[in-house]
């Protein structure tokens, strides 16, 4: 076992030896046993290579496409990047925290609506609210991002505080329940368009840069994704991360060590929601549009599928999952009208034959799998 610890700085799951040694068989990360010791170093090298390749290609291809005049591919890359960022947020809850949220569309959608509503009021010069304090709309991305992250954190605090009293399938379903409430509310609330959605006429702006430029906006999104991954990585290397991992693997042990698992999980859940919410705000500005469809359980399910597809609890898993999923969604559709059938077959193939998702398949096993 001890030979199997990677020494890398980008390792995504820094846990103490004792945590791993005591890992119960039925833990969320599944499977048991470890790769033969002599493979540890070589497959780490492969993993590092795959990670650099993924991130590098995601950055370089759109830049190249931009200079060859293929704007469409730049926007497609922005879309992949944003979905990946949302999945990074969800992965923090599912993969690292063991909290299988089936309601992350709520935060993605709320983030989107913050961008939409703020732009709506800025465009109309009407205040968002006048009582008890007057809040005007804003078309500044910084304001929108701050508001989106804060509001999503608050919402997740409320939802998480109640939901985290439950575990397992009950947790899955109660998070879904809250998301569904918000979905139905948005669908039937006429002020901001209801089911028709809310257009954003002019993309929210930043000082000094032109956000309407496709490449600039892609780079902003890319920055967001890298930030989200860095935050996750830093967090999981901290004492907090160790506590969260322990809470996932064996919360009784954590409790006997004098740390209550509940607040640890709640904080992780809130951070996870804030990341996903930020991605939602970026997505609304990319599309120039937000509608209740991003609040639906289909979207929660899709985010979950992307996380699992890429590899649960792996830092680069959401990125790999998002690239494959969005590409298939985009290109299969042009080939046949039954494209969802083939999407289903590919997903089934991945889950049956590539354990631990694409990253597991490309980069080898993670050490506590």
Partner 1 sequence: MSVTLLIEQILNGVQLGTMLFLMASGLTLVFGVMGLINLAHGSFYMVGAYATAAVTASTGSFLMGLAAGMTAAALVGALVELLVIRRLYHRPHLDQVLATFALILIFSEGTRWIFGSSPMRLSPPSWLTGFVTLPGDTRYPLYRLMLIGVGIVISIALYFLISKTRLGMRIRAGESDREMIGALGVNISKLYTVVFALGAALAGLAGALVGALQSVQVGMGEPVLILAFVVIVIGGIGSIKGALLGALLVGLVDTLGRVYLPIFFRAFMPPSEASGVGAALAAMLIYILMAVILAFKPKGLFAAHD
Partner 2 sequence: MKQITRLGLGLLLSSSLATAHADDVKIGMITTLSGGGSHLGVDVRDGFMLALEQSGRDDVEVLIQDDANRPDLARSLANEFMQRDEVDILTGIIWSNLAMAVVPAVVRQGTFYLSPNAGPSDLAGRMCHENYFNVAYQNDNLHGAMGAYMREQGYERPIIMAPNYPAGTDALAGFKHLYEGEVVDELYTQMGQTDYAAEIAQIRASDADSLFFFLPGGMGISFMKQWEGSGVDMPIFGAAFSFDEILIKAVGSAAIGARNTSLWAYDLENDANERFVEGFREAYDRTPTLYAAQGYDTANLILSALEVAHPDDKDAFREALRAADFDSVRGDFRFGPNQHPIQDIYVREVVEGDDGQPTNRLLGIAIEDIQDVYFEECQM
- Which of 167, 350, 179 has its CA nearest to residue 280? 179
Structure tokens at 202: 């002019």
Closest distance of CB 145 from partner 1, Å:
29
| Other CB atoms within 10 Å distance of the CB of residue 170 | 11
Judged by CB under 8 A, the stretch of 11-19, 163-171, 185-193, 349-357 that binds partner 2 is 185-193
- If the CB atoms of residues 136 and 194 are measured against partner 2, the closer one turns out to be 194
Considering the rule CB under 8 A, would residue 331 count as an interface residue with partner 1?
no
What is the residue whose two structure tokens read 């890359």? 77
The alpha-helical segments, DSSP class H, found in 8-166 are 17-21, 40-67, 71-91, 105-124, 141-163
Candidate list 7, 132, 337, 353; residue touching partner 2; CB under 8 A: 337
Q: Is 141 in the site for partner 1 (CB under 8 A)?
A: no
Name which of residues 278 to 317 contact partner 1 (CB under 8 A).
297, 301, 304-305, 308-309, 312
**Comparison of 72 and 184: residue with beta carbon closer to partner 1:** 184
From the list partner 2, partner 1, none, which binds 335 (C-beta under 5 to 8 Å, kind-based)?
A: partner 2
The yes or no reply on residue 67 touching partner 2 (CB under 8 A) is no
Q: With binding defined as CB under 8 A, does residue 344 bind partner 2?
A: no
Residues 118-137: x where in contact with partner 2 by CB under 8 A, - otherwise, as a string: --------------------
Query: Nearest-CA neighbor of 76 among 214, 212, 210, 213?
Result: 214
How far, CA to CA in Å, does 286 sit from each of 188, 204, 251, 363?
A: 24, 10, 41, 31
| Beta carbon nearer to partner 1, 129 or 345 | 345
SS3 at position 307: helix
**Judging by beta carbons within 10 Å of its beta carbon (0-12, 13-18, 19+), is residue 336 exposed, middle or buried?**
exposed
Q: Which stretch binds partner 2 (CB under 8 A): 3-11, 29-37, 99-107, 289-297?
A: 289-297
Cα distance between residue 91 and residue 311, in whole Å? 9
Of 280, 351, 357, nearest in space to 315 by CA = 357
Nearest to 310, CA basis, from 347, 368, 359, 343: 359
Cβ at position 174, least distance to partner 1 in Å = 5
Listed ranges 28-36, 74-82, 109-117, 256-264: which one lies at the site for partner 1 (CB under 8 A): 28-36
34 binds partner 1 (CB under 8 A): no
72 lies in the binding site for partner 2 (CB under 8 A): yes
Tokens coding 153: 């954190």
Q: Which of residues 75-104 bind partner 1 (CB under 8 A)?
A: 94, 100
Which CB atom, from 193 or from 313, has the smaller least distance to partner 2? 193
What CA–CA distance (Å, rounded) separates 229 from 252? 29
Smallest gap from residue 289 Cβ to partner 2 (A): 5
Cis peptide before 132 (omega within 30 of 0): yes
Task: Judge contact between 269 and 160, C-beta under 8 A.
Answer: yes
Q: How far apart (Å, rounded) are the C-alpha atoms in residues 80 and 99?
A: 24
What's the burial of 175, exposed, middle or buried (CB within 10 Å: 0-12/13-18/19+)? buried
Instruction: List the interface residues with partner 2, window 257-276 (CB under 8 A).
Output: none
Is 199 a residue that touches partner 2 (CB under 8 A)? yes
Q: Is 173 in the site for partner 1 (CB under 8 A)?
A: yes
- The tokens of 310 are what? 């890429």
Q: Which residues bind partner 1 (CB under 8 A)?
A: 28-30, 94, 100, 162-163, 165-170, 172-174, 176-178, 180-181, 184-185, 187-190, 297, 301, 304-305, 308-309, 312, 338-341, 343-348, 350-352, 355
Q: Which residues bind partner 2 (CB under 8 A)?
A: 70-73, 75-76, 79, 184, 187-188, 190, 193-197, 199, 201, 283, 287-289, 291, 293-294, 329-330, 333-340
């Amino acid at each position: 076992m001890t030979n199997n610890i990677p020494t890398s700085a980008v390792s995504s799951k820094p846990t103490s030896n004792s945590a791993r040694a005591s890992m119960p068989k039925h833990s969320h990360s599944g499977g048991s046993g470890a790769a033969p010791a002599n493979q540890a170093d070589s497959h780490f090298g492969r993993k590092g290579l795959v990670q650099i390749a993924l991130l590098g290609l995601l950055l370089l291809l759109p830049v190249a496409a931009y200079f060859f005049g293929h704007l469409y591919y730049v926007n497609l890359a922005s879309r992949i990047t944003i979905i990946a960022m949302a999945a990074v947020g969800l992965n923090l809850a599912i993969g690292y925290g063991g909290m299988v949220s089936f309601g992350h569309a709520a935060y993605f959608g709320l983030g989107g609506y913050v961008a939409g509503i703020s732009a709506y009021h800025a465009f109309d010069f009407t205040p968002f609210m006048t009582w008890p304090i007057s809040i005007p709309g804003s078309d500044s991305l910084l304001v929108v991002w701050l508001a989106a992250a804060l509001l999503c954190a608050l919402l997740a605090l409320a939802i998480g505080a109640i939901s985290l009293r439950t575990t397992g399938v009950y947790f899955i379903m109660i998070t879904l329940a809250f998301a569904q409430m918000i979905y139905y509310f948005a669908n039937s609330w006429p002020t901001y368009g209801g089911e028709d959605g809310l257009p954003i006429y002019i993309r929210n702006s930043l000082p000094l840069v032109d956000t309407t430029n496709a490449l600039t906006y892609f780079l902003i999104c890319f920055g967001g994704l890298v930030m989200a991954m860095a935050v996750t990585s830093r967090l999981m290397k901290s004492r907090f991360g160790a506590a969260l991992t322990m809470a996932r693997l064996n919360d009784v042990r954590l409790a006997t060590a004098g740390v209550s698992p509940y607040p640890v999980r709640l904080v992780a859940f809130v951070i996870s929601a804030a990341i996903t919410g930020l991605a939602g705000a970026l997505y609304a500005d990319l599309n120039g549009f937000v509608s209740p469809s991003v609040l639906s359980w289909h979207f929660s399910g899709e985010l979950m599928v992307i996380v699992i597809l890429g590899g649960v609890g792996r830092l680069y898993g959401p990125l790999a999952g998002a690239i494959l999923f969005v590409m298939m969604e985009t290109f299969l559709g042009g080939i046949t009208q039954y494209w969802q059938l083939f999407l289903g077959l590919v997903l089934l193939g991945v889950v049956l034959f590539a354990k631990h998702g694409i990253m597991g398949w490309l980069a080898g096993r993670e050490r506590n799998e």
